[in-house]
Structure 1
Amino acid sequence: APSQDSLQQSETGKETEEQCFRIKVSAKHLASPVFKACLLGGWNESSTFLENGSTTLTVSGWDLEAFLIVMRIIHSQNNQLPRRVSLELFAKITVIVDYYKCKDAIAFFSDIWLDDLESKSDLHLAGAFSRDHMLWMWVSWVFRRDGIFRRSTAVALKYSKIHISSLGLPLSTKLIYQLNVDRERGIE
């Protein structure tokens, strides 16, 4: 789920209010089973939705740019989508897609963006384990890119000098545990 904290630290160290997004939803585009459950499953929003055919949802905890990209894909606003995204932005998009379980709805764009990112990546040039390897591990896990997943985990196992963490990404705890077990075995 999105962060439950109402405040977060900014880069300057000052507390800032977390951004909330209000989105109007209708029955036209229920590409997410999470939205479908919210609108049809007895939640507070569902009564308004069933009466009016639309309602407003408030969501928070997401990167605004990433969230808007996902919403634009779901609502077929393709002319407003970026042709390329950074690995960082794609990882944020992937968190949202995973949470709302709408991977199929963005499959076309995720394939294009992943192919582009992979073609420019130095993932195969190991030598050091970095945050980017964890981002690659995350997006390849969700979008089932086995080759990328194997390369990123191989780099993690070979070059990580410290305990491997999920970096707050919703990677399986079993996966992170197993990576650390395998990493420790490799050190011995």
Structure 2
Amino acid sequence: MDSKTPLQGLKRKAPLAPDEGYRRTAAGFIAKSETCTPVATNGDIIVYTPDTPLINSKKSAEQGNHARFLVSSRHLALASPYFKAMLRDCWAEGSALSEKGYTEIPVKECKPDILLIVLNIIHGRSQQVPKKLSLQQLTNIAVITDFFQCNEAIVMAAKTWKAAIEKRSPLFPSSVSPAIKIKSWILISSVFGFHDTHKLVTKIAMQEGTGPLMTDALPIPKHTKGVPDRRS
């Protein structure tokens, strides 16, 4: 009687690559992810902006599609209480991630280039983060940072952008209307904890304002909305 066991003599299969089993069970998701801008190579979430131009790091922008970014749930949850809460099992996105190993999350009312900057920072891709931004871009960054509640992750980059803006132009550059400048800097200083700047801009608003501060849908803290507005 042959002493070999049934398994002996068979060629052992090479172990699966860390993500190969996942890729086999999520072929549809992987196919979709291949059309995304990869922020995390082996990401398990597609974050997308509905009804906005496609942003792809390898292609030029294409109109009529939405921007899609492949990201890591672990990085999102570590940096953002917003995503951490969303990815719990009690929510649809968290349940899908737990059961299937992947999910998709829409981010509305955010420009793709701004979202990509924030996602790159969250994922530690510092080489992909611009060193300079305009005041309007920094304002948009502050809005999405406040929404994601990821202030701590973004603040160091925000300090760099703020310093660059102040270096190349006054705190209130003439190319931007006074009212917009004040609202932008109030928001930026509130979100990122720039206390000296916040004190300065609110003082200017109090001195030169003519009525309640109109926030123009910016997420300016309620305690600041009583500051008089300055007419442009």
For 1:150, give the aligned amino acid: K
For 1:26, give the aligned amino acid: S
Structure having the higher helix fraction is 1
CA-to-aligned-CA distance 1:4-33 (integer Å, 9 cap, x gap):
xx99xxxxxxxxxx9855444433312111
The structure having more radius of gyration, on CA atoms, is 2
Could you tell me which residue of structure 1 aligns to residue 74 of structure 2?
28
Could you tell me which residue of structure 2 aligns to residue 102 of structure 1?
150
For 2:136, give the aligned amino acid: E
Q: Which of residues 178, 185, 209 is equivalent to 1:160?
A: 209
Residues 154 and 42 of structure 1: CA distance in aligned 2, closer, same or farther (over 3 Å) = same
Aligned-residue RMSD, C-alpha? 2.9
Q: Which of residues 66, 69, 91 is equivalent to 2:139?
A: 91
Q: Does 1:64 align with 2:112?
A: yes
Q: Which of residues 20, 28, 44 is equivalent to 2:92?
A: 44
Query: Which secondary structure does the structure 1 equivalent of 2:171 belong to?
Result: coil
Query: Normalization by structure 1: what TM-score?
Result: 0.76
Stretch deviating more after TM superposition (151-160 or 115-124): 115-124
Distance 1:35 1:20 in 2: 20
Residues 50 and 41 of structure 1: CA distance in aligned 2, closer, same or farther (over 3 Å) = closer
Aligned length: 166
Distance 2:108 2:65 in 1: 6
**Is the 1:20–1:58 contact (alpha carbons within 8 Å) kept by the matching residues of 2?**
no
Q: Does 1:148 align with 2:223?
A: no
Could you tell me which residue of structure 1 aligns to residue 127 of structure 2?
79
CA-to-aligned-CA distance 1:114-150 (integer Å, 9 cap, x gap):
2222333423799x84311211111011111111112
For 1:43, give the aligned amino acid: W
Distance 2:198 2:83 in 1: 29
Could you tell me which residue of structure 1 aligns to residue 183 of structure 2?
134
The share of aligned pairs that are identical, in percent, is 29
Distance 2:173 2:127 in 1: 35
Query: Which secondary structure does the structure 1 equivalent of 2:225 belong to?
Result: helix
Query: Which secondary structure does the structure 1 equivalent of 2:106 belong to?
Result: strand
CA-to-aligned-CA distance 1:31-57 (integer Å, 9 cap, x gap):
111111111151111121012333211
Query: Alpha-carbon deviation of 1:176?
Result: 1.0
Could you tell me which residue of structure 2 aligns to residue 111 of structure 1?
159
Distance 2:108 2:67 in 1: 6
Q: Which of residues 101, 104, 128 is equivalent to 1:53?
A: 101
Task: Identify which of structures 1 and 2 has the higher relative contact order when contacts are C-alpha pairs closer than 8 Å and 6+ apart.
Answer: 1
**Is the 1:26–1:54 contact (alpha carbons within 8 Å) kept by the matching residues of 2?**
no
**Is the 1:123–1:151 contact (alpha carbons within 8 Å) kept by the matching residues of 2?**
no
Query: Alpha-carbon deviation of 1:65?
Result: 1.4
**Is the 1:21–1:59 contact (alpha carbons within 8 Å) kept by the matching residues of 2?**
no
Distance 1:121 1:41 in 2: 48
**Is the 2:135–2:184 contact (alpha carbons within 8 Å) kept by the matching residues of 1?**
yes
Query: Which secondary structure does the structure 2 equivalent of 1:56 belong to?
Result: strand
Stretch deviating more after TM superposition (25-34 or 91-100): 25-34
